[in-house]
Every structure is written in C-alpha cells, then in structure tokens.
Chain A
Amino acid sequence: MVQSKKQKYIFLAFCLVPTFILFSIFTLYPLFSGLYFSFFDWSGSSSVKEFVGFANYIKLFKDSIIPDTIMHDYFLVVTKILGIMVLAMFFAVALTQLKIKEAPFYRIVFFFPNIMSVVVIGILWTFIYNPSLGLVNSGLEFLGLEEWAKPWLGDEKWALPSIVLPAVWAGIGLFMLMLMGGIANISKSFYEAAKIDGASEWQQFWKITLPLVWPQVKVSILYIVITTLNGSFILVQVMTGGGPNNSTHVMGSYLYQQAFKQYNFGYGATIGVMILVLSLITVLFLQFLMRREKVEY
C-alpha cells in the first residue's frame, strides 16, 4: 500500500512536473521578470543594467505618445465591439431563426477569416486600401465618388478607423457561432407562446432572444476586449507600423518600437506592465458593468 502510494506520486510527478517546469520557464518567469525589468534602465547588453526605481513609470506618465496609444486601443475596443456584436448578432439571428436553406454555407464562409493569419489579413487589406490599385478607391471611382478616395492608411485621420474594418471582418465568424450556440439552446416554446400573445419578431428579439443569450454576449464582449488589448498591435504592426506620425500606435506596437527597435527594454517592460494593468482593470470593470441577473422563464 505504501509502495502504491509512492508509485502514485511518481506517476503524478511524471504527468505534471516536466510540463510545469517548461510552463514556468517560458510563461511564468518571463511575466514576473517583465515586472522586475520595468524598474531598470537597460539597453540590452547586460553590463549597463541600471536600477532606476520608478523612473520608467514617471517617464510613462510624462510621455505624450502614451495617452494617444491608450486612446487608440480603446477606440479599437469600442468600435470592434459595436461592429462585431451588431453584425454577429444580426447574422446569428438570421441564420438560426429564419429558416434559410443555405445557412450552413454562410456559416462556413463567415467563419473562415477567423483562421487566417494576421499577416495575410493585414497585407491583403493594406492592398485593398492601396491609393492607386486598391479595391476601396477603385470602388469609389466606379461609383463616381472620386472625391472620397484617399490614401486611407497614409491619412492621419483615417488610418486608425481603416484598421477597424479588417478587424471586424476577421472577427465576426467566431462570435456569430458563439451567439448561434446560445440561440440554439433557447426553447422553441417561448417563441410559440410569444407568437400566440401577438408579439412581433422585433419584440421577440428584445424580450426573449437577447436576455437569454446575454451570457454569450457577455463572454463575447470580454473576449473582444482581451484579444484587442493584448493583440491589436499585430494588425497595426503589419498594416501601418504605428504611422503615419504615430496616429495608429497602440500600446503593444509602441512597446515593440521602444523595446525592440530603440532598445529601451526597461521602458518597454513598463509599457507591458501598463497593458497588463489596464486590461485587468477593464475586464473587471466590464464584468461588474454587465452583471445582470440570470434571466429564466
């Protein structure tokens, strides 16, 4: 019996320890080490790593680009949530409630951009926005709206909004499927009862569908927030590199520029800490905001 207990522990260790060691080295250690780095002035070569206390954080608060990058990130968060949730909800309701024969076809097509590489999406859309060759300007010319044509990604005012479209384009499918999963779980009898009571389809949506898929809506919004704050910089990096004139820099792309282009690794880590703190605060705040008593009929 003692022997078997010992064997059980050996087996447990066999299962857990190697994985956890690698996870600690390549995930946990870098995260905590990142916090530690943020208190140093460091250009990468180990001889000149200087402890500077909170100097990087003071620099962060004085850096005039930082508020812009935060604004840009939250601009993307808000526009992506609106764009994705409205369209995804519309498509999810259309494909589940209205008996459309070719619904599986739409589902398959709409989801596909979700598994495309960000590089492919970014470059493809950079080309779509290309001032002389791209689809957008050619399309505007075709419609006789030449005066609207502009170098979208080269325009300080339009570059950031132009990045929203590919982000929505690439994101809708996943959230549509999540909402469809929620709608499929709603009992048909609610709708039948509502119809007997004379509720319009619009009323049915507001009174039955939306409250009952609220858990999925909530998860979707949180997921969009997290992935945008943690990953929007990849699309920005591919499409504009933060330009023109910093007008599209988000926190992540600014971190990349500071750390890996200008070798301010300590300051880069400080920006990383800011991203971590802001995304945690945002998620907690949203969870508080969207808490809503579970609706049951």
Chain B
Amino acid sequence: MKRSVGQIMGRTGIRIPLILWTIAVLYPIFWMFLGSFKSNAEIYRNPWGWPETFNIANFSQAWTNYNIDVSVFNSLLVTLLGAVLTLVLAIPTAYAIERMNFRGSKVLFTVYISAMMIPMVLGWIPLFFLLDDLNLLDNIFGLAIVYAVSQLPFSIFVLTSFMSTIPKSLEESAAIDGLSPYGILFKIVTPLSMSGIITVTIMNCIQFWNEYFMALIFLQTKTNYTLALAIDYISNEAQYTNAWGTLFASLVIAIVPVIILYGIFQRRIAKGMTEGAIKG
C-alpha cells in the first residue's frame, strides 16, 4: 500500500517537468498567435494576455504594406520546384545505387552521404559567383536548384533504405515479362517506394519553406524575397516602426503550413528526421 502511494506520488512528480516543458514549448507559439491579433498599442499595454478583440488588421497590413503575398508565392514556388526537382534527381540515383551492381556504387553512395557532414558555408561564396555567371543569382529558379541539390544526400539516403525493402522478385518477374529497366524503375519501383517518397518530400518541403540563409545570400530584390526573408525584413523594420503586430502576423503565416503538415504527417516527419540524423 505504502509503495503504491509512493509510486503515485512519483508519477505526479515526474509530470511536473513534462508539463513545464510543454508550457515552455506551446506558450511562445500560442503567444505569437495572440499577438498577431493585437494592435501595437495593445501589445505594449498588455503583452501577455488575451487580445481585446480578434482583429485581423495585422494580416491585411502584412499583406498590403509588406507584399507578403508575393513572398508567400515565391516560397510556395521554390518549395514545390525544389521538392519535385529533388525527386527527379534522387529517385533514379537511389535505385541505381541500391539495385544495380556496378563498380563504384559504394564509393558514390559515400560521396553523397559525406556531403551531409560537410559545412556548406564554405561553398556558398563560390556558389554565389557561379549563380551570377549562370544568370541564376537573385532568381527563384536558381534558388530551387540549389535547394534541390542541397537535399540530395538526405533524399538519396532515405530512398535507398526504403527501396532495399522492396522484394527483388517483383522486379525480376517484371523483367521476364519484358519490361525495360526504365519501365521497372518508373512503373514498379517508384510506386512501391511511395511511402519513402512521401516522407522525403514532406521533409524537403518543410526544409525549403523554412530555409533562410541561402535565400539571404542568393536573393537580393524584394520582389524575389521568400517568406523567411520578408519576415526578417519586417523584423528589422519593426525596430523603428514598432509594427510588432504585423511581425507576429507574418510569423503566423509562416508557421501555419508547417503546423498543418505536422498535424497530418507527424509520425512520418519524426521518423524521417530521426533516420536522417542517425546516418552518422
């Protein structure tokens, strides 16, 4: 009896840090949502509390005065283009590395994987001039290519491990039925690795949607800004204009798609990220 009381106490005790950390994670995010509905005067008067009225003026401000609509469009474009291009580049390579026995396949795989550990910041200086030479600097398409290539190692890594679980007999019988290797790749292997492809694509989309630093270096004119750059710009302006409400509204615009994706694909995202990290 005494023991069980102690255990109940222990259970409750262990919940205290868990609940505190839950608050530490959720409250700032919640606070950001509340702030996006407050006027600037209200933010100064009452930074913590509930908004007096749910005012969407901040969102329309962000939309009209800071051209967030253009940035949202740019971010969507670079995210989708980047994600599609990554798949186009990664699926055939992952298949060849996983299934075709060719000399150097291990070396090639190692080259791709070790690129995950190399600090790319060194490469960004030459990349800047390379993009300039190719007329891809300050260009959403150029950024999409850079993004896609930057996620190749991770995508190839996850896709090869998914493809290794497909039974070889399926490909063999398709070959006997006269299907070309191209047919096997696109009609058999690609549909069967759909689960891996979805995981990789969600991870890449979140990555591209969130990315900040390469956009900062490789984009220059405001009309090409992605959402991350627009937010950074509003944040710097807010030091002088005190347009905190607008800033909160733009943060909300940036985070809502991520929350929705996480709500739907929570398990996949968590699994994809842990696998990507364990490759070490």
Q: Interface digits, A116-151 against B, CB 8 Å rule (1 contact, 0 not)?
A: 111110011111100011110010000000000000
CA distance A33 to B131 in the complex (A): 14
Query: Is the Cβ of B117 less than 8 Å from the Cβ of A106?
Result: no
Question: How many chain-A residues does the 8 Å CB contact rule pick out?
Answer: 89
Report B-chain residues with C-beta under 8 Å of the C-beta of A276.
118-119, 122
Which residues of A pack against B, CB within 8 Å? 7-8, 11-12, 14-16, 18-20, 22-23, 25-27, 29-31, 33-35, 37, 44, 87, 90-91, 94-95, 98, 100, 105-120, 123-128, 132-135, 138, 169, 172, 174, 177-178, 181, 216, 219-220, 222-223, 226, 229-230, 233-234, 237-238, 252, 255-256, 259-260, 265, 268-269, 272-273, 275-276, 279, 283
With an 8 A cutoff between CB atoms, is B9 at the interface? no
With an 8 A cutoff between CB atoms, is B182 at the interface? yes
B278 is contacted by which of A30, A134, A178, A256 (Cβ under 8 Å)? Answer: A178
Closest A-chain residue to B226, C-beta based?
A119
User: Which of B15-23, B52-60, B166-174, B192-200 sits within the interface?
Assistant: B15-23
Report B-chain residues with C-beta under 8 Å of the C-beta of A229.
119
With an 8 A cutoff between CB atoms, is B210 at the interface? yes
CA distance A222 to B24 in the complex (A): 26
CA distance A178 to B144 in the complex (A): 30
CA distance A23 to B93 in the complex (A): 12
A119 and B231 contact, Cβ closer than 8 Å, known pairs A25-B130, A259-B125: yes
CA distance A255 to B44 in the complex (A): 37
Q: Interface digits, B119-149 against A, CB 8 Å rule (1 contact, 0 not)?
A: 1111111111110000000000000011011
Query: Is the Cβ of A133 less than 8 Å from the Cβ of B118?
Result: no
Closest B-chain residue to A18, C-beta based?
B89
Report A-chain residues with C-beta under 8 Å of the C-beta of B210.
115-120
CA distance A234 to B216 in the complex (A): 10
Closest A-chain residue to B32, C-beta based?
A124
A34 is contacted by which of B26, B47, B126, B277 (Cβ under 8 Å)? Answer: B126
CA distance A124 to B90 in the complex (A): 35
A114 and B119 contact, Cβ closer than 8 Å, known pairs A25-B130, A30-B130, A169-B25: no
Query: Is the Cβ of A100 less than 8 Å from the Cβ of B11?
Result: yes
With an 8 A cutoff between CB atoms, is B164 at the interface? no
Query: Is the Cβ of A219 less than 8 Å from the Cβ of B278?
Result: yes
Q: From residue A290, how far is it (CB to closest CB) to chain B in Å?
A: 12
B95 is contacted by which of A15, A220, A272 (Cβ under 8 Å)? Answer: A15
